[in-house]
């Protein structure tokens, strides 16, 4: 059999071999680092036998699939340690996740931070024991009996949900055996750098109707230095938590009277409106018109769009004049009604309509998280109606706009192209044309991208933009989706050059995504220390004593007259206290004024970046800051100060 490796080279073997045996044949070092394999694009266990021609990739911790196998093994080590220390605990599920792993357990006694320390100590013993992991399978009925004998009801329920003819796999390490599909490492030995990070509650199978379990989170790395770096990032993230900073900086609040419905405070509104002003500026420049559509529309509209049948559990509904209505969870049906409001010609296309639309979606209370997961938010939607020939150019235009937005805030990003899923609607020709249009636009722009086969929306392929913040975390914000189905459902038309009626193609796209969520990301990205153009308060004037309040007021008035957001600190405190207060508020500029400054019409400038910058004339300072704001310069250091 011929095995094609990642570098394109080919190895031939006369008989079947396991993935780990092939890795060892290639390099002993590679075999030691191997965490999993990938056969023809499918992640497999190192024990998997290769008995046919295929493409094989050996996955290490540097690969996503390898990290998942490594951390999945860590979750089994944690479960084994828990069962050693607390034999009566019942195990539910324990997968790997993006930054680590977790295990859900059913324990009569609540777990504490001290318990986690005990579990960690026992995990270290298991790692030192270098227990080999062995995989075996059982028929479904035997698997159920096996887990019943072990007293694991959650495992029994999972097995019973599998098909009758399913062969159930288990992994054994020492005295511990767990129901698991894998993949896993060969032994427990490599998992030396790990940390249990937190405790949380989690309903069994995510349903509020089921029992609340204890979820223990952890993470694991191959090297201690990598673990320490990660833990430092976690501590930094706690300092930057947008909920904490949002309260300290007076940006937004939450209330028990409206869980998941954020309240923006005056400074938060300055920040939000500055973002919206920027949004309007770039969209007007890129040929968009702005519309506003109603928040409540009737059931017939949502039935036509498909939301009533497929999305109703996430929608808030009401009755008006004995008719069913829904509060919009999305802006697109309203945008379609605007398109339908008058006849359209090919000369009108592309028609780019932007909307800063307030949408409401019912999220479970346990999923709410500050501004990141809310029940109402402003979506910076745009819907572009176009001819098939215009797809490529419109996609390129949207991608350039999103790149401009992310670059302004200092975000790196990567792009994913998601193709036709199994449950798709539409013809093969439509999908091929749309996917080729997206792919060609990305190629023309020189944007590297990863293809997610089968992960598109049911109505069309899409491009997703995943931005990376200053802590290296990724957030999916921007998206470009091609849609054939809504124009078909609503029977949209335009008159072509041939005088006949044609069906337009529709793009759904966002740049910020949710304005509220984007603000949350910005708060954490900049640690609340926003660039001057974005800061809610750009300058605070600090009089040395009450004698200079009048001059401070004149300075602030001059700043405000120039369009600079300024305020005066009127407290009867010493200047050192006022400076510290301004620093805690992460203000870009402080202007200290006293006798000398008043006499000479000057200000003593302190900035967040350089501290004391010396004296300037008021006119010179206004000119400098006005230019900085106009150019949207970013002097803000993205760190906690």
DSSP 422-471: TT--S-HHHHHHHHHHHHHHHHHHT--EEEETT-SBTTB-EEEEEEE-TT
Q: How far apart are CA 394 and CA 286, in angstroms?
A: 11
Catalytic one among 332, 469, 477, 608?
332
Taking only the tens place, the pLDDT of each residue in 555-579 is 999 999 999 999 999 999 999 999 9
3-state secondary structure of 493: coil
Give burial (CB, 10 Å; 0-12/13-18/19+) of 347. exposed
Query: Going by CATH, does the domain composed of 2-60 fall within 3.10.20.30?
Result: yes
- pTM over 0.75? The answer is yes
Q: Where in the chain is the domain with CATH 3.10.20.30?
A: 2-60
**What's the pLDDT tens digit per position in 428-451?**
888 888 888 899 999 999 989 999
The one catalytic residue in 462, 509, 525, 602 is: 462
Secondary structure in 3-state letters for 204-259: HHHCCCCCEEEEEEEEEECCHHHHHHHHHHHHHHHHHCHHHHHHHCCCEECCCCCC
Start-end of CATH 3.30.930.10 domains in the chain: 252-293+328-525
Rounded average pLDDT over 363-388: 92
502 pLDDT band, cuts 50/70/90, is very high
Q: Cα(236)–Cα(234) distance, rounded to whole angstroms? A: 5
Given CATH 3.40.50.720, say whether it is the number of domain 65-239: no
Here the tokens at position 300 are 């017939």
Annotated catalytic residue, options 361, 420, 525, 602: 361
What fold, for 252-293+328-525? BirA Bifunctional Protein; domain 2 (3.30.930)
From 379, 481, 485, 538, active-site residue: 379
Residue among 307, 344, 383, 525 flagged as catalytic: 383
In the chain, which residues fall in CATH 3.40.50.800? 539-630
Confidence of residue 636 (pLDDT cuts 50, 70, 90): low
Q: Which residue stretches of 562-641 are H helix?
A: 575-584, 595-600, 618-630
**Is 2 among the catalytic positions?**
no
Model confidence at 638, pLDDT cuts 50, 70, 90, reads: very low
Clarify whether 381 is annotated catalytic. Answer: yes
3-state secondary structure of 593: strand
Please identify which of the residues 184, 195, 508, 540 carries the catalytic annotation: 508
Every domain range in the chain assigned CATH 3.30.980.10: 65-239
- 332: annotated active-site residue: yes
**Residue 285 is a catalytic residue:** no
Catalytic residue among 45, 381, 403, 569: 381
**pLDDT tens by residue, 535-550:** 999 999 999 999 999 9
pLDDT of residue 307: 87
Strand 449-452 versus strand 412-418 pairing type: parallel
Active site residue 300: no
Class of domain 539-630: alpha beta
Average pLDDT rounded to a whole number, residues 65-79: 97
Query: Which residues have CB under 8 Å from 232's CB, separation 6+?
Result: none
Burial class (CB in 10 A: 0-12, 13-18, 19+), 25: middle
């Amino acid at each position: 059999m011929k095995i094609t490796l990642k570098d394109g080279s080919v190895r031939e073997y006369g008989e079947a071999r396991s993935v780990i045996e092939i890795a060892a044949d290639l390099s002993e070092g590679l075999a030691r680092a191997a965490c999993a394999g990938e056969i023809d694009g499918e992640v497999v266990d190192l024990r998997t036998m290769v008995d046919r021609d295929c493409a094989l990739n050996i996955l290490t911790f540097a690969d996503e699939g390898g990290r998942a196998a490594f951390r999945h093994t860590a979750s089994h080590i944690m479960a084994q340690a828990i069962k050693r220390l607390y034999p009566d605990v019942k195990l539910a599920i324990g997968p790997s996740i993006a930054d680590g792993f977790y295990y859900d357990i059913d324990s009569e006694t609540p777990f504490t931070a001290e318990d986690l320390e005990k579990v960690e100590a026992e995990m270290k013993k298991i790692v030192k024991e270098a227990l080999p992991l062995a995989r075996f399978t059982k028929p479904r009925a035997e698997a159920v009996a096996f887990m019943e004998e072990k007293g694991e009801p959650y495992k029994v329920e999972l097995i019973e949900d599998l098909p009758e003819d399913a062969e159930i796999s288990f992994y054994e390490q020492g005295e511990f055996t767990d129901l698991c599909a894998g993949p896993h490492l060969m032994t427990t030995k490599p998992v030396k750098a790990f940390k249990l990070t937190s405790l949380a509650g989690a309903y069994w199978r995510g349903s509020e109707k089921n029992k609340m379990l204890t979820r223990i989170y952890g993470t694991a790395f191959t090297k201690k230095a990598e673990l320490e770096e990660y833990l430092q990032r976690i501590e930094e993230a706690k300092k930057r938590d947008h909920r904490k900073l949002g309260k300290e900086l007076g940006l937004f609040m939450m209330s028990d009277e409206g869980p998941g419905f954020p309240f923006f405070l005056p400074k938060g509104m300055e920040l939000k409106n500055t973002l919206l002003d920027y949004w309007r500026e770039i969209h007007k420049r890129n040929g968009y018109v702005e519309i506003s559509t109603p928040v409540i529309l009737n059931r017939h509209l949502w039935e036509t769009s498909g939301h009533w049948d497929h999305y109703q559990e996430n929608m808030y509904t009401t009755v008006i004049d004995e008719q069913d209505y829904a509060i919009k969870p999305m802006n697109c049906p309203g945008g379609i009604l605007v398109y339908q409001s008058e006849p359209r010609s090919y000369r009108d296309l592309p028609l780019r309509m932007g909307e800063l639309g307030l949408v409401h979606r019912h999220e479970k209370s346990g999923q709410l998280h500050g501004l990141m997961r809310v029940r109402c938010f402003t979506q910076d939607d745009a819907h572009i109606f176009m001819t098939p020939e215009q797809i490529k150019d419109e996609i390129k235009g949207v991608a350039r706009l999103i790149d401009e937005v992310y670059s302004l805030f200092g975000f790196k990003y990567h792009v994913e192209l998601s193709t036709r899923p199994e449950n798709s609607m539409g013809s093969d020709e439509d999908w091929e044309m749309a996917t080729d249009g997206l792919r060609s636009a990305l190629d023309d722009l020189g944007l590297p991208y990863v293809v997610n086969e089968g992960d598109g929306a049911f109505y069309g392929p899409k491009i997703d933009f995943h931005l990376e913040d200053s802590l290296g975390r990724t957030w999916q914000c921007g998206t470009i989706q091609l849609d054939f189905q809504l124009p078909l459902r609503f029977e949209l038309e335009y008159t072509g050059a041939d005088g006949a009626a044609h069906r337009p193609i529709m793009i759904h796209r966002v740049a910020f995504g949710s304005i509220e969520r984007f603000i949350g990301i910005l708060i954490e990205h900049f640690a609340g220390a926003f660039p001057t153009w974005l800061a809610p308060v750009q300058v605070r004037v600090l009089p040395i004593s009450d004698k200079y309040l009048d001059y401070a007021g004149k300075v602030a008035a001059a700043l405000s007259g120039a369009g600079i957001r300024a305020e005066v600190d009127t407290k009867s405190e010493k200047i050192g206290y006022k400076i510290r207060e301004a620093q805690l508020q992460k203000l870009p500029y402080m202007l200290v004024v006293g006798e000398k400054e008043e006499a000479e019409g000057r200000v003593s400038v302190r900035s967040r970046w350089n501290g004391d910058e010396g004296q300037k004339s008021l006119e010179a300072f206004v000119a400098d800051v006005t230019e900085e704001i106009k150019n949207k310069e970013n002097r803000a250091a993205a760190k906690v100060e």
